Structure 1
Amino acid sequence: MTLSYMPGFGNDFETESLPGALPQGQNSPQRCAYGLYAEQLSGSPFTAPRGTNERSWLYRIRPSVRHTARFHPVSYNHWHTAPNIDDHELALGQLRWDPIPMPNEPTNFVAGMRTITTAGDVHTQVGMATHVYVLNEAMRDDYFFNADAEMLLVPQEGEIRVYTEMGIMDVAPKEICILPRGMVFKVEPKDGPSRGYVCENYGAKFTLPDRGPIGANCLANPRDFKTPTAWYEDKETDCRITVKWCGRFYVTEIGHSPLDVVAWHGNYAPYKYDLTTYSPVGAILFDHPDPSIFTVLTAPSGEAGTANIDFVIFPERWMVAEHTFRPPWYHRNIMSEFMGLIYGQYDAKEEGFVPGGMSLHNMMLPHGPDAMGFDKASNAELRPHKLSGTMAFMFETRFPQHLTRYAANLETLQENYLDCWSGLKKRFNGTPEGNWE
């Protein structure tokens, strides 16, 4: 069972897995029930305004400061952090990849992280990184927390179970989850090898975008965001916690599970969201609207309307616009766009962009429908038509996305991607009708 959650709006929850574990009327009594320890997890500065102040009180079996060894460095060679520039020799351009293969050797969530791009600077807490995870093994006695960023997980193949300090979330393709900065967790595959995308957000936390003239409804509705109820793991075995801190990794040993929170209350919590509950809006007479109307979550920057990150989806929806080129138009953008396909077929590129694949169109590089998609849309009968069985998404940022060496050298990189536009021929002939033969 989960509780409704509104990301970024300061709502407060309470949940306990044993009756009376939550203290009433105060946060830190002299002695907590069940012999628990009170511990606050802060997601914002103490003095942040009430509407953006985020913290949760955790009532746990052992305080998280208790571990049996000092942290020592550990390496994960495929996980990179911004700034990570000049890491390869591949020339600038529009890029697209087929899916990253599943691993043959045992690989857990952390070891299976593959960084594709980085942007900004983790040391000044701006920017992001995009990754693909591949895993086929559970993190049984291994735990992780990210001190650099919150993490947005987008499963593409295979359901995963995410165990966190504040409860359990089962996250399947067509769903997403957010793991807050500093939250301890572990991941296991539920039904075989799993693959998905990750956005690592160094900047301001994801929140719901303003709706403006749209009003109180549509887009992502707050009631559909869910945070887990309290659950705890009480085991005394040799366990390890790995932390990512300023792009480096450190591990320590502990003699127990760190997921021992019996009860909690607050507004700093992990959450999940079912993408099929997104209520899209669009043009109902003419013209294809800007893709910003498909924003699920946004991480704002200091400049109004210019996001550190926008998470945008292109879901199933009706297309009804008259006298209109219905797919996305050709464009150049101040933002840098990383796209992935969860399932189905993307309407602007019907070949070559496959589920599990990805593309990168960096700031001001032109892109748009391939030649086949352009011809099809230019000659289609414009009756109401439903785009069914499709879900694509975009991580969009104000910063240039720098490719990693791993991504530049992937065998799945499509060397012929530019050919998808080679069939776009000249149609201008000096007449209003043009040459459409």
Structure 2
Amino acid sequence: MRERNAECHYHAGFRNHVSSEALPGALPQGQNSPQQCPYGLYAEQLSGSAFTAPRSHNLRSWLYRIRPSVVQGAYQPMEMPQVATAPLAERMPDPNPMRWDPIAFCAGDFLEGLITLAVNGDAQAQQGCATHLYAFSRGMQQRFFYNADGELLIVPQQGAIEVRSELGLLEVASGEIVVIPRGIKFQLNPLAGHAEGCRGYVAENYGAPLELPSLGPIGSNGLANPRDFLAPSARFEDEAGDFTLVAKFGGRFWRASLDHSPLDVVAWHGNYAPYKYDLATFNTINTVSFDHPDPSIFTVLTSPSDTAGVANLDFVIFPPRWMVAENTFRPPYFHRNLMSELMGLIHGEYDAKREGFRPGGASLHNAMTPHGPDAATFEAASQAELAPRYQSNTLAFMFESRYLFQPTPQALSSSARQRDYGSVWQGLASHFTPHTTPQFTP
């Protein structure tokens, strides 16, 4: 295999217009598709939005590649029964709170280790999302993949991964995320030294591409900063052989044969590319007086819907942070919410659960399903001394959506499902004392 710029080189900034070339002079000057491209390359535009989308939301990159993407075999259907797409045949969302333990590693690659947990919306209507878990132990070797149904937000929990894409290489560790836009071809492998296995979470976003949330009264700084998002530099493979391109299209999986690596883009420019983000760079906003700001202050990325302020998909994190609120029950409060929440834990403990919520596991609370701290957390936090405390051993996140999540049949029947999850609240006894005088300091 002949590779150029095999090491990771990144461009900073969220959806900046990037120009990158692995060979000097490979980018045409002055026009996107000249009659003859440098080095005998082919020009190919990859559009992630409608041509007529507003300039601020128009996504496209020009790729200069050794062979155009049309050089491939015919697509044939393939079976991937463990991966589901919305809508499911029977739409029966469940109001019960649910929780799952981490799934076991499989001996296969990323695609074989991918299992759908829950879906909502409708992929072909470009609404909603799917949530998946992955646990795999080997690379994709001669296989490559692209998703025509939605962009992929990947959250590694254990083991670092490398994402070899058409536009370059990204190395992503636990505590970081990577977003692979709709249609971009890639290969996902364990990073060298992580052959013991890689595990994590995936949100497949059918709706509008993820973007940074508006800051409103927060001002111009805070939360995720654009400069901390990193896109890859151009890197190409010029290799002949027997390869397979797997596509997810219309809820089904398809495969086509290739006689060359599809990662043969020598240069590119545009704003439609994979990107990674280190969650440790998130500038957390929190109260310095009393009570809780709403958890929307922890939003890293959002996919807006056609209703202002109501997200198709939010990616929200609960990172290490100072807890200083006075006269306040500090863990997340008891809550019923219009949005549906699917939660994961990357490492440590989540401050609303004393036990049972394990790194690599997941929980689901659909719209208006009550949830909150378990009995042990409530009792401890109600009596705790309210000195300033740094919440250090934690990194949890939520995939939050306006649409109800429907767990897949395999998720409902999985041995990893904690069927006694609801019991964590059964110890919440009545403390009602109607004949005492309240002691409260405002």
Could you tell me the TM-score, scaled by structure 1's length?
Answer: 0.96
Corresponding residue number in structure 2 for 1:57: 62
Tell me the alpha carbon deviations over residues 164-211 of structure 1, each in whole angstroms, 9 at most, x when there is no partner. 000000111000000000000001112121001000000000000000
Give the aligned residue type for 2:10: T
Tell me the alpha carbon deviations over residues 6-56 of structure 1, each in whole angstroms, 9 at most, x when there is no partner. 14xxx3110000000001111011111111000000011111111111100
Deviation at 1:85, TM superposition (A): 5.0
Alignment match of 1:273 (pick from 250, 274, 277) = 277
Tell me if the contact between 1:87 and 1:405 (Cα under 8 Å) persists in the aligned partners: no
Alignment match of 2:17 (pick from 12, 21, 24) = 12
Tell me if the contact between 1:87 and 1:403 (Cα under 8 Å) persists in the aligned partners: no
SS of 1:255's partner is strand
Corresponding residue number in structure 1 for 2:131: 130
- Residue 421 of structure 1 pairs with residue 425 of structure 2: yes
Corresponding residue number in structure 2 for 1:98: 101
Q: Which runs of 5+ in 2 are unaligned?
A: 1-8
Deviation at 1:434, TM superposition (A): 6.7
Corresponding residue number in structure 1 for 2:4: none
Tell me if the contact between 1:5 and 1:271 (Cα under 8 Å) persists in the aligned partners: no
Aligned partners of 2:12, 2:150: CA distance in 1, in Å?
23
Aligned partners of 2:132, 2:342: CA distance in 1, in Å?
10
Change (3 A) 1:234 1:291: same
Corresponding residue number in structure 1 for 2:354: 350
Aligned partners of 1:101, 1:70: CA distance in 2, in Å?
34
Give the aligned residue type for 1:16: E
Deviation at 1:431, TM superposition (A): 3.7
Tell me if the contact between 1:153 and 1:197 (Cα under 8 Å) persists in the aligned partners: yes
Aligned partners of 1:204, 1:303: CA distance in 2, in Å?
12
Tell me if the contact between 1:117 and 1:129 (Cα under 8 Å) persists in the aligned partners: yes
Corresponding residue number in structure 1 for 2:182: 181
Alignment match of 2:254 (pick from 246, 250, 257) = 250
Aligned partners of 1:432, 1:229: CA distance in 2, in Å?
68
Tell me the alpha carbon deviations over residues 281-308 of structure 1, each in whole angstroms, 9 at most, x when there is no partner. 0110000111100000000000000000
Aligned partners of 1:434, 1:405: CA distance in 2, in Å?
49
Deviation at 1:86, TM superposition (A): 3.0
Change (3 A) 1:75 1:433: farther
Corresponding residue number in structure 1 for 2:288: 284
SS of 2:121's partner is strand
Give the aligned residue type for 2:329: F
Give the aligned residue type for 1:6: F
Tell me if the contact between 2:105 and 2:113 (Cα under 8 Å) persists in the aligned partners: no
Tell me if the contact between 2:243 and 2:260 (Cα under 8 Å) persists in the aligned partners: yes
SS of 1:279's partner is coil
Deviation at 1:433, TM superposition (A): 5.0
Corresponding residue number in structure 1 for 2:6: none
SS of 2:260's partner is coil
Aligned partners of 2:81, 2:402: CA distance in 1, in Å?
27
Corresponding residue number in structure 2 for 1:23: 28
Corresponding residue number in structure 2 for 1:389: 393
Aligned partners of 1:228, 1:159: CA distance in 2, in Å?
17
Tell me if the contact between 2:95 and 2:369 (Cα under 8 Å) persists in the aligned partners: no
Aligned partners of 1:138, 1:91: CA distance in 2, in Å?
36
Tell me if the contact between 2:110 and 2:189 (Cα under 8 Å) persists in the aligned partners: yes
Aligned partners of 1:5, 1:263: CA distance in 2, in Å?
19
Q: How does 1:229-378 map to 2 (within 5 A)?
A: 229-378=233-382
Deviation at 1:5, TM superposition (A): 2.6
Alignment match of 2:42 (pick from 37, 43, 47) = 37
Deviation at 1:91, TM superposition (A): 5.8
SS of 2:332's partner is coil
- Residue 2 of structure 1 pairs with residue 10 of structure 2: yes
Aligned partners of 2:434, 2:20: CA distance in 1, in Å?
70
Could you tell me the TM-score, scaled by structure 2's length?
Answer: 0.95
Give the aligned residue type for 2:97: Q
Tell me the alpha carbon deviations over residues 374-402 of structure 1, each in whole angstroms, 9 at most, x when there is no partner. 11111110010000021000000000000
